Amino acid sequence: MDTAAATPLSFRDATEADVDALVALVESAYRGDSSRAGWTTEADILDGQRTDPEGVRDIVTSPDSRLLTVERDGRIVACCQLEHRGEHAYFGMFAVSPALQGAGLGKAVLAEAERRARETWGATEMHMTVISVREDLIAWYERRGYRRTGRTSPFPYGDERFGIPRRADLAFELLVKPLV
C-alpha cells in the first residue's frame, strides 16, 4: 500500500486565506495540460478558467455555503462546495488533485460531504449539476447512488467565468441522491 494513501485526511471549512490554493487546485483538476494527469479533466470540452478568486471567496464567505477543504500532510488535496438550499444541499466545485485521482479520495470526500449535509442541515437530498456530455463522470456519480433526472439547464455560453466552450452542445444535468 502507498504510504501517502495511508496518511489520514483532515476536513475543514475553507477560510479566505485558502482562496488562492483552492483556485489553483480546481484549475489543475479541470483545465489545461495539468488536468490531463487525472480523469476529471474538461480540457477537451472547455478552455479558459474553471473558477476565479472572487467566485471561491463568495462561496467561502456566504452564510449558506461552505467550501469543504481536504488536507493530507498539511497540503490541500481536495475540496467541494456545500450549499444549504432548504431540504436539500447542493454539491459543487468538487476537485481532487490530479495526481491523487483514481485512488478512492473522491469517494471519501463525497461521503463526508453527504454526511455533513445530513448532520449539519438535516438535508434529505443532495443535488448537483454535471455537464451532460461528461458520461464517465456521471457514471461515477451513479455508482455512488446519484440518479439522472433528465432536467437540464443551459451552459452559460458567452460568460468566460465558466470557461470557453469548445463545442456547442453543452448543458448542465441535475443529479440527485436521497440522503436518508
Whether 96 is in a domain gets the answer yes
Whether 149 is in a domain gets the answer no
Residue pair 131/171 in contact by the 8 Å Cβ criterion: yes
107-119: per-residue pLDDT in tens?
A: 999 999 999 999 9
- State residue 51's pLDDT score: 92
Measured in Å, how far apart are the chain's first and last C-alpha atoms?
33
> Closest by alpha carbon to 48, among 24, 30, 64, 21?
30
What's the predicted TM-score (pTM) here? 0.91
Average pLDDT, the chain: 92
Whether 26 is in a domain gets the answer yes
Rounded average pLDDT over 52-67: 95
| CA distance readout (Å), 71 to 4, 76, 83, 98, 132 | 12, 4, 20, 14, 30
Residue pair 3/72 in contact by the 8 Å Cβ criterion: no
- State residue 166's pLDDT score: 92
**Full domain range(s) for residue 44:** 3-126
Which CATH number covers residue 69? 3.40.630.30
How many Å is the Cα radius of gyration of the chain? 16
Whether 180 is in a domain gets the answer no
For the chain, what is the domain count? 1
Q: Is the pLDDT of residue 34 over 90?
A: no
Whether 151 is in a domain gets the answer no
Output phi, psi for 104, to 5 deg. Answer: 100, -5
Rounded average pLDDT over 152-156: 95
Whether 89 is in a domain gets the answer yes
Rounded average pLDDT over 109-138: 96
Burial code (b: 16+ CB inside 10 Å, e: under 16) for 77-106 equals bbbbbbbbeeebbbbebbbbbbebbeeebb
**CA 70 remoteness from chain centre:** 12
Whether 171 is in a domain gets the answer no
The pairing of beta strand 88-96 with beta strand 75-85: antiparallel
In terms of pLDDT, which residue wins out, 166 or 1?
166
Whether 163 is in a domain gets the answer no
> Closest by alpha carbon to 83, among 18, 128, 21?
128
